[in-house]
Structure 1
């Protein structure tokens, strides 16, 4: 009976310890603070960059799109789900091709001209990384600089701005 009493007392003390440890607000930590990534710009800085591009866009539009039914694109929009899904896909591609994914490069491109008119500008992502060349190592040692991953598929087909030639902000 004495052992049974100690057993019950131990259960009660254990339950109290667990309760105070797990359920006490003092032990619940706040979510980690998200740090600002490098390279952020303010909306006013974005406006300066956008306005500085106006002359180049005007030259392109006046020379290539003067008779076209629409002006050339100034932006591309991608759904957040598409970008996060592509990053996961790019990671798998990099692994299967023997690379360590370290970023995405954003290229400006243009669709080929058709009978309907000149091809509009587009933006597309290509994964970048370093070739895994270390043999017999638990951790791959990247060799050289970060380049486009050869043979990896890129992400294109974002949506145009509204209208295509619209300036920042839309």
Structure 2
């Protein structure tokens, strides 16, 4: 009986110590703060942007690709989180502090490179950026400093997002 009381007393004291050690230090008890990033737009604004792209999409589809071209790319949340960790780590190994990503539009070649690429379709890929890289834009013949960072030299881009369904589908899908 004495051993049982000692065990129970030890568990209670251990629980109290863990509570004060873990929960009061902020490691577990701090609520996650969700911050709305600058640049978040309304769905109405997104529809406006999507419709404004229609004429360009039609031009690309009709005269270049000769079929309804891809309008979007999709990545899973896990792939995005994994890529951000990977790119941040790789940027650090290359001597840079990653502070953003840049998304580029691209297109697959007209000839098949490998079986998982859709010949001729538009794609999107992203690259890590760092404000430690001086980036200069040419504007009207004069150099203008950019606010955002340059692409991390040697940073691996992320591609292979899934195309829209169907590829030419407008926002929202």
Output the TM-score relative to the length of structure 1.
Answer: 0.71
- Provide closer, same or farther for how the CA distance between residues 155 and 76 of structure 1 changes in structure 2, counting only shifts above 3 A: same
Size of the aligned set, in residue pairs, is 140
Q: What residue number does 2:92 align with?
A: 95
Listed one character per residue, the Cα deviations across residues 100-150 of structure 1 (whole Å, up to 9, x for unaligned) are 1010000000011117x9611000000001448xxxxxxxxxxx9610001
Over the aligned positions, Cα root-mean-square deviation in angstroms equals 3.2
The answer as to whether partners of 2:102 and 2:128 remain within 8 angstroms in 1 is yes
Quick one: distance in 2 between partners of 1:79 and 1:167? 19
Q: What residue number does 2:42 align with?
A: 42
Q: What residue number does 2:144 align with?
A: none
Alpha-carbon deviation of 1:154? 0.4
Q: What residue number does 2:102 align with?
A: 105
The answer as to whether partners of 1:98 and 1:131 remain within 8 angstroms in 2 is no
Q: How do 1:110-149 residues align onto structure 2 when only pairs under 5 Å count?
A: 110-114=107-111, 119-131=120-132, 146-149=149-152
Larger-Rg structure: 1
Q: What residue number does 2:170 align with?
A: 167
The answer as to whether partners of 1:64 and 1:118 remain within 8 angstroms in 2 is no
The answer as to whether partners of 1:108 and 1:123 remain within 8 angstroms in 2 is yes
- Structure 1 portions without partners, runs of 5+: 1-10, 133-143
For residue 125 of structure 2, give the secondary structure of its aligned residue in structure 1: strand
The answer as to whether partners of 2:73 and 2:162 remain within 8 angstroms in 1 is yes
- Provide closer, same or farther for how the CA distance between residues 145 and 50 of structure 1 changes in structure 2, counting only shifts above 3 A: closer
Q: What residue number does 1:63 align with?
A: 63
Alpha-carbon deviation of 1:77? 0.4
